Structure 1
Amino acid sequence: MLGSLVFAISINYFLIPTRLGEGGVTGLTTIAYYTLKIPTYLTNFVLNGLLLLVGLKFLDRKTILRSLWAVVWLSIWLKLPVVYTYHTNQTLIPTMLGGVLTGIAMGLILNAGGSIAGSTVLGRILNKYFGISIGSATLFFDLAVAIPAIFIIGFENMLLTVLELYISAKITNMMLARFGAKRVLQVISSRYSDIAQAISDNLGQGVTVVQASGFYSKTDRPIIYFICTPREMARIIPLLKEIDSSALIITENVRSVRANDLYRLL
């Protein structure tokens, strides 16, 4: 609901007053408003509702229901009267504000397991089956609508729309990386057994010990491998240093992690 509200503010208070476009279904919504004066809330609900029906074949029911919830509330927020119309000759300002607000809105909605349907449904499908980040996949489909809008909003506003979409995609990816990020930690230490036990006790999950050997030292050096959140990593690394100050700790970012609870306990 909050993400939908922020999205509606971006559309009603920054994009439409500046006559900017958007991507995906929202872009089609603005075009319908500019050309035929069709209310944005109506176009949003009808077109996104149809896309959610398509998404039923590819996404789980929970995602579809949460997306429907977001779409319904977006239509409600779009229908509310605009309290104040923002006007400025500096079109770059509403472009950047619209992009930031849209990115925040998408980050909130996607992090909650939903979407605004439209290109985000297609973005979730690409993320699920091909591992492409949702923000980047959504940007691709958004541009497919935004660029042809040049015939409606003009060349300059089309370029500003592309800039707004780029900012939105960057903010979306940043928010998803911040809220849903995972880290892989690999630890090499002679006290691997103590370290593995400490990780298991503190995080309440299992760890994987990979049997390995050092080529130079010709000794066995098992590698501890586990996945955690950034917050858990900040808590566990000082503990690892306390157990073995000379331990080699390697950290990596993870784009996507899928597993059931049973696997985490192994």
Structure 2
Amino acid sequence: MILGNEYDMLKHEAVSKEDTTMQKTTMIVIRKCLLIMLGSFIYSVAINSLLLPHQIGEGGVTGLTAIGYYALHIQPALTNIVLNSIILLIGFKLLDKKTIFYSLWCVVWISIFLKLPPIFQYHTKQTLIPAIIAGVFMGIALGLIYRADGTIAGSTIIASILNKYLGVQTGSAMLFCDLLVAIPSGFIIGTERMFLTMIELYISAVVLNIFNDMFGAKYSIKIITPKVEQMSASLSNQLKQGITMVHTHGYYSGEERAMIYIICSKKQSAKLFPLIEQIDPNAMIVLEQVHSVAGHQLNMLK
């Protein structure tokens, strides 16, 4: 009878843990979907209220939608969802299914928001101003979408593939892909607006890289200290994750020693340095930014 009660208690605890895990997973998915919706809204505002009214182009699929709108009066929402659906099918085998799902969610909402009337009417002869503002808006929007593991498909799918397999910064890879569309668009929108488009794309890429460095960048920390066990225990407790130990050999001293290797976020790294100095002020620390990280611990760093 006692064994039966213990079994029921263990079963109840296991079910409770499973329910808690499912609730946390659901909340994460909801948060990411809302974040993508916000990014999609900002992105659509930049197109509807800043780019299209001033006949400024864009890169990637968005650039093609703008060209279709200027030359053939095709609704951007229609072009956006058709072309991006094709590109998502291409990226289906190269990117994880989670990214594809969030990207599809993003494409749908961008298409919905593009069908809405402009949020504000801003017209000026100084077309450099809307190009700069649109670049900032798009950089922030893309940062939010990437932060939620999504993309706007199009050139961002290609940029994600380059980041994942070659370690190229997302903003830089996207700028290169977008220019392949933006430069030929000069035949439709004119040379002046083509240069404005290039300025907008550059600003967007810079803002996106800054956004990723501030909120999404991952860093590797290498620590060499004689207090390895104490340091590892404290850092693992602080990060709530495992610590990698790398065996090293000093050429000059001939001494063998373990080196602590950690992947963490920028926010986490700021908390680790005071802890490291408290345990061993003479510890050697190497901090490097990592352009691409893959693995199951990646979600723990967010």
In the other structure, the counterpart of 1:113 is 149
Tell me the secondary structure at the aligned position of residue 184 of structure 2.
helix
Question: Using the alignment, how far apart are the partners of 1:160 and 1:250 within structure 2?
Answer: 41
Please report how far the alpha carbon of residue 57 of structure 1 lies from its aligned counterpart in structure 2 after TM superposition: 2.6
Pairing 1:37–2:59 present? no
Distance 1:86 1:201 in 2: 52
Q: TM-score, normalised by structure 2?
A: 0.82
Q: How does 1:167-182 map to 2 (within 5 A)?
A: 167-182=203-218
Partner in structure 1 of residue 158 of structure 2: 122
Structure 2: gaps spanning 5 or more residues: 1-36
Residue identity opposite 1:232 in structure 2: Q
Query: Normalised by the size of structure 1, how large is the TM-score?
Result: 0.93
Q: Which has the higher helix share?
A: 2
After the TM superposition, which residues 233-252 of structure 1 pair with which residues of structure 2 at under 5 Å, given as runs?
233-252=269-288
| Structure 2 CA distance for aligned equivalents of residues 84 and 258 of structure 1 | 41
CA distance in 1, matches of 2:157, 2:234: 41
Q: Equivalents in 2 of 1:90, 1:148: separation in Å? A: 23
Q: In the alignment, what sits opposite 2:25? A: none
Does 1:54 pair with 2:78?
Answer: no
* Residues 1:26 and 2:67 aligned together: no
SS at match of 2:268: helix
CA apart distance, 1:221 = 3.8
The amino acid that maps onto 2:153 is A
- Structure 2 partner of 1:11: 47
Q: Which amino acid is 1:45 matched to? A: I
Matched, 1:208 2:241: no
Q: Is the 8 A contact 2:59 2:201 kept in 1?
A: yes
Which residue among 120, 127, 130 is the counterpart of 1:91?
127
Q: State the Cα distance separating 1:261 from its structure 2 match.
A: 4.3
- Answer whether contact 2:135 2:202 (CA < 8 A) is retained: yes
Give the match for residue 142 of structure 1.
Answer: 178
CA contact (8 A) 2:247 2:258 kept: yes
Match of 2:115 in 1: 79
Matched, 1:197 2:247: no
Cα deviation digits, residues 176-200 of structure 1 (max 9, x gap): 2222211111112221221112112
Q: C-alpha deviations, 1:212-240, integer Å up to 9, x for none?
A: 24334443443221111122212121111
- Report the Cα distance in structure 2 between the residues aligned to 1:133 and 1:82, rounded to whole angstroms: 32
Partner SS for 2:203? helix
Please give the alpha-carbon distance, in whole angstroms, between the structure 2 residues aligned to 1:50 and 1:183: 34
Q: Write the distance in 1 (CA, Å) between the matches of 2:290 and 2:238.
A: 21
Post-superposition offset of 1:73: 0.7
Q: Distance in 1 between matches of 2:137 and 2:297?
A: 35
Q: Once the 2 structures are TM-superposed, how far is the Cα of residue 201 of structure 1 from its aligned partner?
A: 2.0
Q: Which amino acid aligns with 1:241?
A: E
Structure 1 vs Structure 2: percent identity of aligned residues?
A: 51
Report the alpha carbon displacement of residue 68 of structure 1 after superposing the two structures with TM. Answer: 1.2
Shift of 1:83: 4.3
Query: Gapped runs of 5+ residues in structure 1?
Result: none
